[in-house]
Amino acid sequence: MPAVIETGTLQVNGQEIAYTRRGGGPPLLLLHGFPQTKEMWEDAIPALARRFTVVTADLRGYGASSKPEGVDAMSFRSMATDQLALMQALGFPRFHLAGHDRGGRTAHRLALDAPEAVASLTVMDIIPTHLLLDQLTRQVARAYYHWFFLAQPAPLPERMIGADPQAYFESCLLGWGGASLSDFPPDALAAYRRAWADPACVHAMCNDYRAAIEVDFHDDARDLSRKVRCPALVLYGADGAMARAYDVAATWAPRLQDMTARAIPGGHFFIDSAPEETAAALLDFLGPLPQP
């Protein structure tokens, strides 16, 4: 593993954002998804950090970052503003950006809101938020029921999860295609478990999903005619719920002007289960691009 250059938290955009920086070269920001933390990237970092300065960060509400109150505070726009401010504070006004799951949705919003800052965009195992909610199918509603469970008014989901948070979030890791607990590196799984044990984190994650319906859907509706113009990579798990329900690349084609798409072996959590393949796909995409 490359030596850690810097780790800790920075006060940006009114939040404490936890981050780690490794490697050297052009900057690359990696954003995790639900119900994980920045530790999900650990096994992919060695290959990436040989060519890039890799920054991993916990989204607000997750991991070691601060847990703001209120549904609006957990919108993708709010999360994106944090991450832009973090990279600026670290001295990177322009950077490559990749995100999985909620991190991918945050990355998409950041690329729309601050295109001058994003040299390239990679989204992993998601379809566009507006499309998923606006054209919901029975198949997706069943596979992604958690979107609607977590979005129920507080404190119902928080209380139900609180009865056994470890069991609930393990069930999330084992869903959405092709995962078992042995797919998750022990240190990363331990970090996830620490986060799940924090009621403030559980509440913030619920607000993340409430915001998707109450805030993000409407933000995305206003931007349906806009395209991300930087080079973009769409990665998805070959055995995941999204690949079974959609032509994932086709869902993104109207929204990304310069798009490449590629399947990775595994399900939704392919970064944990196939980190070397994930890193190789990123390097293949990023290597030929103009560097920030």
Burial of residue 180 (CB within 10 Å: 0-12, 13-18, 19+) is exposed
Structure tokens at 238: 């070959």
Determine the Cα–Cα distance for residues 292 and 95; give it in Å rounded to an integer: 6
Whether pLDDT at 175 is above 90: no
Whether pLDDT at 1 is above 60: no
Structure tokens at 189: 């799984």
pLDDT in tens, 138-162: 999 999 999 999 999 999 999 999 9
15 inside domain: yes
Paired sense of beta strands 27-31 and 53-57, if any: parallel
* Residue 176: pLDDT band with limits 50, 70, 90: confident
292 inside domain: no
Number of domains in the chain: 1
pLDDT in tens, 186-201: 999 999 999 999 999 9
Please provide the size of the chain in residues.
292
CA atoms within 13 A on the CB side of 223: 21
pLDDT of residue 192: 97
Mean confidence (pLDDT) of the chain? 96
Residue type, position 288, single letter? P
* Residue 56: pLDDT band with limits 50, 70, 90: very high
Eight-state DSSP code of residue 181:
G
Whole-model pTM: value is 0.97
Determine the Cα–Cα distance for residues 159 and 190; give it in Å rounded to an integer: 23
Beta bridge partners of 102: none
* Residue 185: pLDDT band with limits 50, 70, 90: very high
pLDDT in tens, 216-247: 999 999 999 999 999 999 999 999 999 999 99
Determine the Cα–Cα distance for residues 54 and 48; give it in Å rounded to an integer: 7
Q: Which residues are catalytic?
A: 101, 268
Q: Read off the CATH number of the domain in which 110 is found.
A: 3.40.50.1820
Beta bridge partners of 16: 11
Written as one string, the DSSP assignment of 126-171 is ---HHHHHHT--HHHHHHTTHHHHHTSSTTHHHHHHHT-HHHHHHH
SS3 171: helix
Burial of residue 198 (CB within 10 Å: 0-12, 13-18, 19+) is middle
280 inside domain: yes
Do residues 40 and 275 make contact, with C-beta atoms less than 8 angstroms apart?
Answer: no
Whole-angstrom CA distances from 167 to 24, 89, 193, 259, 270 are: 39, 38, 10, 38, 21
Determine the Cα–Cα distance for residues 12 and 78; give it in Å rounded to an integer: 11
62 inside domain: yes
- 280 CA to centre of own chain: 18
* Mean pLDDT (whole number) for 116-131: 98
Residue type, position 253, single letter? A
* Residue 179: pLDDT band with limits 50, 70, 90: confident
275 inside domain: yes
138 inside domain: yes
291 inside domain: no
Q: Domain range spanning residue 21?
A: 4-286
More confidently predicted of 180 and 287: 287
pLDDT of residue 88: 98
Cα-Cα-Cα-Cα torsion 9, 98, 127, 72, nearest 10 degrees, comes to: 30
